[in-house]
Amino acid sequence: MARISIVGLGRVGLATGVAFAKLGHEVACYEVDASKVDAVRGGRSPYREKILGEELRKVLKKGNFRATDNAGDALVGSECYFICVGTPPLDDGSMDTRFMTDASKGVGRAIKGRKDFPVITVKSTVVPGTTEKLVAPMLAKESGLSHDAFGLCMNPEFLREGTALEDTLKPDRIIIGSNEKRPGDVLEQVYSRFESVKWRCDIKTAEMVKYATNSFLATKVTFANEIANVCASFGLDSDKVLEGIGLDSRINPKFLVPGAGFGGPCLPKDMKAIISASKSLGYKPLLLEAVLEFNERQAARVVDMLERELSSLDGKRIALLGLAFKAETDDVRDSRALPIIHELLRRGATIVAHDPAATIAAFGTDLAVKQVSGIRDALENVDGCIIQTSWREYKELDKEDFAMMKHQIIVDGRRTLDGKKLPKGVIYRRIG
Ligand code: UGA
């Protein structure tokens, strides 16, 4: 079993650390945010996750997992380091490498003078070339070691919010990017208890696999949205059509659920970063750009559908159900709720919002939106309703709930309700 240091207690760092500790490794996590460290030490996951908190408490009790904001304490003497810090977007969409730089410096200082070949692995999503051009030189500079005195790997993550630990423990594949055999072998050994396929490649390829995966998923969702929109023009049931194509094993049914578009902290950000990096190298990725543009229009399309039913949105009171970018999370980053809110306000509507977990304040910008805590309070006396997140609570909406509305018009942006089972009098429209 290895002594492992994790840098960054974001969702990825925490899930990775808990997974490694669960499988027997000795794990020390370093995080600059003391409030996160306190939560984790107290056995509380700072993130809304299914089993992460429970499993965290188990490894804390077992004694082979700890968290600290003291870099020396967490980083000195480990055999393997995993850099799991965020790579948020800059204003132009390109990747902000600030946290990567800090993390690389911290690890560099911690491995100063080492003669036992520590292996440093980048798990953060970084554009191809970052590990070799930014992380490696920083490690060498801060540690005073030559490049062959430490190992370097890139090991992207594919976990989804809400199921972070499950996805970390049972990924479809473990991508091990290394330019030399020795560090790749060390990393493969660290993962030896994971049953998933281990796939080896060079560092830059591993970096790109992550972007290509998220770009594909975003494109697949967009394709489903496009087909659903085309089906609507033909008066066809797009669910049936998408079910039909999903039976082709080359396509499969996953990520084919149409709706208001994809959101979240990863898919849009990663697409913007790879588009920006690619353009800076002289290639304009037309398809990827179109996917992003389509995604913006899809959100506006939801509002168009409601406007069509009401003739005009000016002066209308609209309920917005769901602020989070998907169900089972309180995360609103790049949520499609935001473009929907902007469109509704631009067209003169007033908005009453509801979400079981996310808040309007989390958007971090002043929005003229009233948030209420009860679903019925949101529906009371409204001219129409948009469902933006497919929370379980919304799937259970019933006759009494709809009766609160002045006009029982629902535009379902997430395939949340079954239109055939709704009470008489409810006008139900869904995207596609
Ligand atoms: C995504 C990827 O699924 C993970 O593999 C990846 O590790 C992660 O980004 C990341 O890069 O960290 P996540 O952001 O948690 O995970 O969200 P998803 O479950 O992939 O959903 C993304 C968006 O697509 C949501 O807004 C969702 O509502 C939408 N979506 C998804 C659809 O509209 N239709 C679908 O069929 C599937």
pLDDT value at position 431? 86
Q: Tell me the C-alpha distance between 175 and 366, whole Å.
A: 41
For residue 361, is pLDDT > 90? yes
User: What are 234's two structure tokens?
Assistant: 């033909």
Note the pLDDT tens digit of each residue in 350-359: 999 999 999 9
Q: Tens digits of per-residue pLDDT, 124-167?
A: 999 999 999 999 999 999 999 999 999 999 999 999 999 999 99
Average pLDDT, the chain: 97
| Residue with CA at minimum distance from ligand 1 atom 24 | 262
- C-beta of 326 in contact with ligand 1 (< 6 A): yes
- pLDDT tens per residue across span 76-94: 999 999 999 999 999 998 9
With a 6 A CB cut-off, is 267 part of the ligand 1 pocket? yes
Kindly state if the Cβ of 159 falls inside 6 Å of ligand 1.
Answer: yes
Q: Are 154 and 136 in contact (CB under 8 A)?
A: no
- The residue assigned the tokens 């070799």 is 132
pLDDT average, residue stretch 168-178? 98
Residue whose CA is at the smallest distance from ligand 1 atom 9 = 266
- pLDDT average, residue stretch 10-36: 97
Whole-number Å distance, alpha carbon 384 to ligand 1 midpoint, is: 28
Strand partners, 173: 197
Atom of ligand 1 nearest to the CA of 210: 11
* pLDDT in the model for residue 240: 96
pLDDT of 432 = 79
Q: Which atom of ligand 1 is nearest to the CA of 218?
A: 24
pLDDT of residue 353: 98
Which residues on neighbouring strands pair with residue 288, listed in sequence order?
Answer: none
Distance from residue 277's CA to the centre of ligand 1 (Å): 22
For 199-219, how does the pLDDT look when each residue is reduced to its tens digit (9 = 90+)?
A: 999 999 999 999 999 999 999
> What's the one-letter identity of residue 173?
R
Token pair belonging to 148: 């062959």
Distance CA 332, CA 321 (A): 13
Alpha carbons 349 and 224: distance in angstroms, whole number: 29
Q: Length of the chain in residues, anyone?
A: 432
**What's the rounded mean pLDDT across residues 15-42?**
98
Question: Which residue bears the tokens 């977007």?
Answer: 89
Lookup: tokens for 44 = 């509380």
Name which residue sits closest to atom 29 of ligand 1, judged by CA.
262
**In whole angstroms, what separates CA 27 from the centre of its chain?**
24
Q: Which of 155, 159, 269, 292 to mutate to test the pocket of ligand 1 (most atoms within 8 A of CB)?
A: 159
Probe target for ligand 1 pocket from 123, 209, 217, with the most ligand atoms within 8 Å of CB? 217
Residues 377, 379: Cα–Cα separation, whole Å: 6
Task: Work out the pLDDT band at 340, boundaries 50, 70, 90.
Answer: very high
Radius of gyration of the chain (CA): 24
Instruction: Determine if ligand 1 sits within 6 Å of the CB of residue 199.
Output: no
pLDDT band at 50 (very low <50, low <70, confident <90, very high): confident
Asked if 266 is an active-site residue, the reply is yes
- The CA distance from 63 to 254, in Å, is 39
Which residue's CA is minimally distant from atom 10 of ligand 1? 266
Sheet with strand 427-430: strands edge to edge: 369-371, 350-354, 317-321, 384-387, 409-412, 427-430
The residue whose CB lies within 8 Å of the most ligand 1 atoms, and thus the one to mutate among 196, 267, 301, is 267
**Is 47 near ligand 1, meaning CB less than 6 Å away?**
no
> Which residue of 12, 326, 333, 414 sits with most ligand 1 atoms within 8 Å of its CB, as the best mutation to test the pocket?
326
Provide the terminal-to-terminal Cα distance of the chain, rounded to the nearest Å: 52
Please give the model's pTM, rounded to 2 decimal places. 0.96
State which ligand 1 atom lies nearest to the alpha carbon of 160: 15
> How many whole angstroms from 144 Cα to the centroid of ligand 1?
41
3-class SS letters over the chain? CCEEEEECCCHHHHHHHHHHHHCCCEEEEECCCHHHHHHHHCCCCCCCCCCHHHHHHHHHHHCCEEEECCHHHHHCCCCEEEECCCCCECCCCCECCHHHHHHHHHHHHHCCCCCCCCEEEECCCCCCCHHHHHHHHHHHHHHCCCHHHCEEEECCCCCCCCCHHHHHHCCCEEEEEECCHHHHHHHHHHCCCCCCEEEEECHHHHHHHHHHHHHHHHHHHHHHHHHHHHHHHHCCCHHHHHHHHHCCCCCCCCCCCCCCCCCCCCHHHHHHHHHHHHHHCCCCCHHHHHHHHHHHHHHHHHHHHHHHHHCCCCCCEEEEECCCCCCCCCCCCCCCHHHHHHHHHHCCCEEEEECCCCCHHHHCCCCCEEECCCHHHHHCCCCEEEECCCCHHHHCCCHHHHHCCCCCEEEECCCCCCHHHCCCCCEEEECC
Ligand 1 and 416: CB distance under 6 A: no
Q: How far is the CA of 289 from the centre of ligand 1 (A)?
A: 18
pLDDT in tens, 374-422: 999 999 999 999 999 999 999 999 999 999 999 999 999 999 999 999 9
